[in-house]
Structure 1
Amino acid sequence: MQTLFTPEQLADPATARSNEILRACVHCGFCTATCPTYQVLGDELDSPRGRIYLIKDMLESGRPADERTVKHIDRCLSCLSCMTTCPSGVHYMHLVDHARAHIEATYKRHLTDRLLRWTLAKILPYPMRFRLALALAKLGKPIAALIPDARIKAMLAMVPKTIPPVSRNDDAQTFAPTAARKMRVALMTGCAQKALNTNINDATIRLLRRLGCEIVIPQAMGCCGALTHHMGREAEAHSFAAANIRAFMAAGDLDAIVINTSGCGTTVKDYGHMFRNGPLAADAARVAALAVDVTELLAKLDLPALPAQRLRVAYHAACSLQHGQQIKTTPKDLLRRAGFEVVEPADSHLCCGSAGTYNLLQPGISAQLKARKVQTLTARSPDVIAAGNLGCMMQIGSGTATPVVHTVELLDWATGGPKPAALR
C-alpha cells in the first residue's frame, strides 16, 4: 500500500511503525474471510482491510478521529485472526493499537461513553476494587431489566453468582517445588482473575510445584496493562506495564515468567515493542523474552502420560493464544497426554466475543459471537469445555450449562490435584 506520510510525521516512532505496517498491506482481502465482525456485520469497513483504509486516512492526514472512524475501530475485537490469515505479514495489532491511542487523544466521546470507559479503567485492573464493585453489582442485578443501556446490562450480567474468597496464594511469596527442582519461574497472577476465579492460579501453583518449579509471586506486580491498552489509554497501560517490568526484574534470576491468562500473555510478550524507545527498553525486552504461556512451559516439563480419563473435553482456542501468540496445538496435546478425549468446534479460529472489555462495550456484536461459539462447542457433546483465558471462560460459561474450566485445572486434576470446582 502506498503511503504519503511527511518526514515530520515519520519522526514519530508510532507513526513510523504504522507506516511500515501499512506499506506491507497488498489489499488482497484474505483477512475478510476470517474476521468475526465482518462475518456478523457484512460491512467492508468492519473488516481489517476496511479498518486499515480508515486508519491510513486518519493518520496520514494528521486529523483528529471522526465519528465514522471511531465506530468501526471500536467494533474491532483485536482477535488478531487477520494476522494469522495475512500472507503479507501485516502486523495489524500494532496498527490498531496506534489508532486507538490516536482516537483517545483526539476524539471526544459522548459523556456516557467516557464515564463507562473511565469506570472500567479504574475498577477492572484493581482486584479489590473489582471485588467491591461485584458485591455492589449483585444488589443491582434485580433491576437490570429496567435499565435501557445494553452495556450496563452486560456489566450486571457478568457478575458471578458467588464471588470467590481471596486466595492468599496470590500474595507476594515463594513456593518451593514438591519434586526435584528443575527451574525457577515467576507467576503473573493477573488482576480480574484474582477477583473472579482464584482456582486458576491455585491449580497453576500446585501443578508447577509438582513438576519441579520454584515459583515466585513478585512484590508490586499488578495488571499487565492490556485492559487499558485496548481502550487506547496508553499512559495508564504503560504505567501498569512499567511496574510489572520492575517487579519481574527485582525477582532475581528467572527461567521463565509464566502467564495463565492468554490475553495478558499477548501483551507482556509485546513489552519489548511498547518500551523500545525508552529507558526501560532492555528490561522490557528481557521480560518479553522470558514470558511464556503456562502450556508452553508445561510442554517442557515432562508432564506424565496418563491413562484415559473418560472425559470428553471441547477445547476452545482463545484468540490471544492461537492468533496473538501462535500457540495452537500445545494445549490440546497436553490434554490428550493427560488422558482426556479432546474435540474441537467448527470454525475454531473465530472469536467468542469476549475480547477483554469488548463484551461490555459492544454487547450486541459480542452476544452474536457468543451464541455462535456456544453452539459450535456444545454441538460436540462435551462433558466439559476447556480454555486458556478467563475472559473466554466467563463469556462461554454465561451461555451454556456445560462446565467451563481452565486447561490447567484439568491438568492439575489429572496429575493429583483436586477435581475442578466446576465439575464437582
Structure 2
Amino acid sequence: MKKFQETLMKDLGWKLLSIGIATIMWFMVININQPVDTRTYSKYITLDNMEVLTDRGLTARNAEDIAATKVNIKIKAQRTSLDRLNQSNDWLQVSVDFSGLKNAMAGDTVSLPVKVEMLGGYSGYTIVSKAPANIQVSIERLASKELPIEITLNGELPKNALYSAPVLSANTVWVKGPASSVERVIAVRGMINAQDVQGDVQLNAKLVPYDSHGTQVKGVKLGTSEVTVIYGALGLKSIPIKVNISGTPADGFEFGETTCTPQTIEVVANPEILKDFIYLQLPDIDISGSGATLRKSFAVADYLPEGIAIKDGSSPTIQVNVQVLAANSREIVVRSNQLTVLKGVSGMSYEISGSAKVVITGEETLINNIDESTLTGTVDVSGLSVGHHKVPITLNLADGITAGYAYIDVAISQEADASDSES
C-alpha cells in the first residue's frame, strides 16, 4: 500500500499537467468535430388572445404594426444541430400574449414581453437573445361603420364601347378597427383595369379603405376583402318618338301639326332587349275643346321599358307641340337674319341659323296684310351654355295677332381673347 502511494505521488506535478493537457485536447477534439455555434433567425409576431380586448369593445391601435414586426432570435447549439433546423422557421413561434390585459382601458399603453418557443420537441438548443424583447401596445376603443363600395376604372374604356353600370356582389362593406382609424375612413374603393373590361365580363376587385386625402388607411379590417364586379356590353339604338292625338278642338279651331323635340332618342341596353324596341310611345294628348296650341313635356325615363336607359348626353325630356289653329290662321317662314339675340352674355358668341315655320292667328284682314319678310323677333338665350340649342322664337306682332310655338337653331361659343386673335 505504501509502495502504491509512493508511486502515485511520484512526479505528481507532471501527472497533473498531463491530465490538464489531455482534458484540453479532448475539448479541442469535441469542438472540432461538434463545434458550438450561434445563429440568428427571424420571425413575425403572432397576436394571441386578442379576444381579451375585443370582447370588451377594445383593440390594439397598433396591432397591424405589431404583427408586421420581425423579431431576431439568436439560438446557440452544436453546429450539426443548428444545421438540422428547418430554414422555413415553422419550428419557431414568436408571439405576444394579450391575456394579461383584462384590466386594460382605452388610452392605456402597456409593455408586453415577446415570447419565443421552439416547437417539435427540439432539445440541446439555447435561446440566447431576442430583439425586440418587449412590445408597446396602445389600447383604444373598437369601432365599426358601414360604407358603400365604390368601383373606379384604371384607364379609359374605348370611346365606342358601351357598358352597363357595374353590378357588385356586395354594395356595402363594414369597416372595423381602432376608433381613430375607422373615423378616418371615408370611402372603400375597388379598382378595375379598363383594359380587362371586354364584352360581358366578371372581374374581382380588391377593396381598400381611403381617407379624405385619398391615402390608404392602415390598421382597419374590412368585412370582405374583395368583390365581384360584372360588366355587361350594351347596344346603342336611335328610336323615333310616337304620340297619338285624340279629341276635337273647340268650334272655330282645327288640328294642325304635331312636332316632337327631339324627334328621336338614343338608348342603350342589352342588344337582345333593343332588338324588339321599335319606337317610344308617349301618352295620348287630348285636344278636346282646345282653342290654342298645346305644349306637353315628358320625362323619357318614365316611358322606357325595363332594362333600357337613355344614352349619356341625350335629352332627358321630350317636348311635344300640338297645333290647334283658329280658322283664320296663316303659316309664315321666319329666317335667322330677322331675329336678334336677347339677354346675351359678354364674352360669348351667338349664331342664329336656319329658318322656322310659325303659325299666326288673328283677324283675317290683319294676318293677310303681314309681310313676312319684314317681320322681326328675338331669341332669349339667358341661362344657355356653350353648345347648340333650339331656342323659342318671339315675334314682334301687332295687337290681335298671336304666334304659335316655333324654335330655331342657336350656336353658342366662347369668344377668343384679343391677344389670342393677334397671335
> Normalized against structure 1, the TM-score is what?
0.19
The structure with the largest alpha-carbon Rg is 2
> Normalized against structure 2, the TM-score is what?
0.19
Structure with a larger share of its residues in helix:
1
Structure with a larger share of its residues in strand:
2
- Ranked by relative contact order (alpha carbons within 8 Å, sequence separation 6 or more), the top structure is 1
